[in-house]
Amino acid sequence: MKTAAPEAEGTASDAGIAGVLVTVAYDGTAFSGWATQRDARTVEDTLRGAILAVDPRASGPRGTSRTDAGVHAEGQLAAFDARVAMPPRGWVLTLNQHLPEDVAVRAAQIVPPGFSPRFASVKKRYRYDLLLDKVRDPLLCDRTWRIGYDMDMDRMKREAKAIVGTHDFAAFRAAGDERAETVRTIHSVELTQLDARRWSVTVEGSAFLYNMVRILVGTLVDVARGHLAEGAIARALAAEDRALAGQTAPAHGLTLASIDLAMPEGSGERWPR
């Protein structure tokens, strides 16, 4: 069993409770998503186990984005309340001693107790990674969606412009999303060629519907390969009809890249910065 480094050891504080905000990265391949589920391995439960190993009286974590099974994260944010007094550096080092290889706390910050990052979220950035290759690549199979047919990436770039702005995205959500309010604002969509085979689609917005990014990317791919005519996204938005949009891209190509928060007064410094 691993033991905490001396500098990371804390002492229980009966005088009060401190809030801790952590940035969490994980490979979602072996997880059934972020949120707690019965008889399933989830990131939330895994992180909770590490927190309770350090402070059995802690409460939380309170996550910001409920990523699905197979979806990865570089910048998930979660907060918890602790009675162990420890600086941010100590929380990062100590929690990571209790986490498996496919999850890591990348940063920590002291915040007011009870802080919920979900309700302080201002912007979220998701990145979807595509592999344009006729043959599968075992080194990228869990992190990219391999597209084996010819793609017109200029068509995809033109089509992506229709996503930006404030629209009713009812046509771009999974059937299980029953929220009455489906208007969302997308600030930007960026297509980036990473190398001869790989492209990324980064979508930044204030909030997202269930499977919204995956359906948007699936529609972009369908347009780029000629399965749907250009203008498909605009037509689906106008009609609010899921049948006019494209396929749902697989989960394993999606990564929660980062989240911007409106930080509360009294927040401390983040480590590492």
- Among 179, 252, 172, which residue's Cα sits nearest to residue 211? 172
CA 206 to CA 185: how far, in whole Å? Answer: 6
CA 269 to CA 201: how far, in whole Å? Answer: 31
Please measure the distance between the N-terminal and C-terminal CA atoms of the chain and give it in whole angstroms.
Answer: 30
CA 136 to CA 199: how far, in whole Å? Answer: 15
CB atoms within 10 A of CB 133: 15
Q: Pull the structure tokens for residue 141.
A: 């199979």
Q: Pull the structure tokens for residue 263.
A: 């930080």
Burial of 175 (0-12, 13-18, 19+ CB in 10 A): exposed
Q: Pull the structure tokens for residue 255.
A: 């990564």
What are the phi and psi torsion angles at 200 (to 5°)?
Answer: -125, 145
What Cα–Cα distance (Å) separates residue 61 from each residue in 19, 20, 41, 228?
10, 9, 15, 42
Residue type, 124: K
Q: Pull the structure tokens for residue 29.
A: 């391949």
Catalytic residues: 68
Q: Pull the structure tokens for residue 39.
A: 């008889």
